[in-house]
Each structure stands twice: as structure tokens, then as C-alpha cells.
Structure 1
Amino acid sequence: MENRVVQGRMVTPKRLAELIEGEDVMDAEPIEDADRECPECGGNVISVGYMPSVTEFVTGYKCQDCDWAADDR
């Protein structure tokens, strides 16, 4: 499990998914670089695949420097 620094705090994949989703998630895959810049501040964006429910898989994106987050829904 690879942890990353997001907005000055070390986060696990599951915690990153919870930041993106806004609530608890069931499971999360390892964090990856998203190879894109944040549309708000130009910072690095990372991604994580996660399951918010038993029947759904989502890829979420989060800027490491600001509050911007999105998912592929």
C-alpha cells in the first residue's frame, strides 16, 4: 500500500478515496499518478480506484496541493 502526501498530510489509498467521495468507502486500490495538472491550481493530480458500494467501482482524482477532486462518474 503506497501512501502519498496530499495537502501536507500523508494519506493511505482508502483515506484518499474517502476525501474524494466525502464518505466511507469499502475498498481502494493503490494510489497512482494521474499524469495531468489540477485545473484550479496547476498542481499534481493523483488517482485512486475505489468501491463506494458493493456494485460500483469509481476512479477518483485529487490534487495534492488544493481542495480540487473529481471522479469518473
Structure 2
Amino acid sequence: MSGNRVVQDRMVTADSLAARIEGEPVMEADTIEDADRACPDCGGDVLTVGYMPSVTAFVTGWKCQDCDWSETDRD
């Protein structure tokens, strides 16, 4: 899909979406993709992005396009 998406009425890139999920800037992020799931809080569309918060970690994150809900695949 496209490199930029609208999340909570703001245009985001993969890097800025990953930073919203992580709560701080990330080193690198992959392309934003549609997740095949609905938000458990509001039922809105969910996006997914893989990113590197540090040199030694790769995280997959999910973020609702309509509300504050997000989660990662960290244990």
C-alpha cells in the first residue's frame, strides 16, 4: 500500500506511526500495511508496521486509525 496513511486525522509515515506506537522515535520502520483485524476498543481499521526501536530488536506494532489503541508483539 501507500507509504503514508491517515491516523487520527493526521498524515503519518511508517516512521511516525512506529514512533506513535513506541512512544519515542525509532531507528527504522518498514512500510505501513492494513492489518486484517478491527480495533478492540472502537471497531475501527487497524494498521500494522514493523520497526526497529534499537539495533538489536525488531517489533511489529498495530495502531487503530480512529482511536488511541495500539499494541506490539513484545512478550
After TM superposition, the score normalised by the length of structure 2 is: 0.95
Unpaired runs of 5+ in structure 2? none
For the residue of structure 1 that corresponds to 2:20, the secondary structure is helix
Structure 1 outlier segments of 4+, above 4 Å:
none
Query: 2:4: which partner in 1?
Result: 3
For the residue of structure 1 that corresponds to 2:52, the secondary structure is strand
Q: Percent identity?
A: 70
After TM superposition, the score normalised by the length of structure 1 is: 0.98
Matches within 5 A, 1:27-38: 27-38=28-39
Matches within 5 A, 1:53-72: 53-72=54-73
| Distance across 2 between alignment mates of 1:27 and 1:34 | 20
For the residue of structure 2 that corresponds to 1:25, the secondary structure is coil
How many residues are treated as equivalent by the alignment? 73
Query: 1:41: which partner in 2?
Result: 42
Unpaired runs of 5+ in structure 1? none
